[in-house]
């Protein structure tokens, strides 16, 4: 069972998705590296059949997942476009990786069927991905602790021993909830996350 801090982090991520969607007037989701739906905004009239089915069935079908993964999104370090696939009734989406300390914990997908996303909208999408990265790292650690297969938590083995990961998780939670104006404040450098000697 998730702690109150972890539940609050989950709520913060959902709020960030909703805020971005309302700002852009575009449908927004966060998926994990295996293209499983984690968070979703309301529709803005831009939804496609893939989005509707994913929300109704709590996951996309294998062809849609294959289309997303075929673009190499799990290796992206900057935003890019997942092209439309008319055969799948899949509209184009802007994909922004959510990384913490170089590890991919998810992706923000923003509907962009007509290719009209502006640079300011892209900047807002990038900022949201950066803001939710600590909470997504916490979620990834929780999934790892539950015994979710390692493939769904990329980089798990590279993050140190179990005690070190626990210390890092506590530091993330502490930072997340002590920031004076929420998760959008400046983050400490990755070096400051190393366990003291």
How is 121-169 classified by DSSP, letter by letter?
Answer: HHHHHHHHHHHHHHHHHHHHHHHHHTT--GGGSTTGGGG--HHHHHHHH
- Decide if 13 contacts 131 (C-beta within 8 A): no
pTM exceeds cut of 0.75: no
Q: What is the pLDDT of residue 48?
A: 65
Q: What is the pLDDT of residue 54?
A: 73
Q: What is the pLDDT of residue 32?
A: 93
Q: What is the pLDDT of residue 35?
A: 92
Q: What is the pLDDT of residue 61?
A: 79
Q: Where are the domains of the chain?
A: 4-193
CATH architecture of the domain 4-193 equals 2-Layer Sandwich (3.30)
The DSSP letter of residue 186 is P
Written as tens digits, the pLDDT of the chain (197 aa) is 556 666 777 889 999 999 999 999 999 999 999 999 999 998 877 676 677 767 666 777 788 999 999 999 999 999 999 999 999 989 999 999 999 999 999 999 999 999 999 999 999 999 999 999 999 998 888 877 776 554 443 333 334 444 444 545 555 554 444 444 444 444 333 333 333 33
Report the distance separating Cα 22 and Cα 41, nearest Å: 9
Q: What is the pLDDT of residue 163?
A: 46
Q: What is the pLDDT of residue 2?
A: 57
Report the distance separating Cα 48 and Cα 33, nearest Å: 21
Report the distance separating Cα 178 and Cα 15, nearest Å: 18
Q: What is the pLDDT of residue 141?
A: 81
Q: What is the pLDDT of residue 97?
A: 97
Q: What is the pLDDT of residue 51?
A: 73
Report the distance separating Cα 122 and Cα 85, nearest Å: 22
């Amino acid at each position: 069972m998730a702690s109150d801090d972890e539940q609050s982090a989950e709520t913060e991520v959902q709020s960030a998705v909703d805020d971005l969607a309302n700002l852009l007037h575009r449908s927004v989701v966060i998926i994990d590296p295996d293209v499983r739906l984690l968070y979703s905004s309301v529709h803005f009239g831009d939804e496609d059949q893939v989005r509707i089915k994913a929300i109704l069935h709590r996951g996309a079908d294998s062809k849609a997942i294959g289309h997303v993964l075929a673009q190499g999104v799990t290796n992206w370090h900057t935003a890019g476009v997942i092209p439309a696939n008319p055969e799948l009734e899949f509209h184009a989406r802007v994909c922004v990786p959510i990384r913490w300390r170089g590890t991919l914990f998810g992706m923000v997908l923003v509907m962009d069927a007509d290719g009209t996303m502006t640079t300011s909208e892209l900047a807002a999408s990038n900022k949201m991905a950066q803001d939710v990265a600590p909470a997504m790292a916490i979620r990834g650690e929780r999934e790892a602790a539950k015994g979710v297969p390692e493939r769904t938590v990329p980089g798990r083995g590279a993050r140190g021993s179990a005690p070190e990961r626990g210390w890092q998780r506590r530091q993330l939670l502490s930072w997340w909830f002590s920031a004076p104006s929420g998760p959008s404040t400046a983050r400490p450098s990755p070096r400051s996350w190393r366990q003291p000697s």
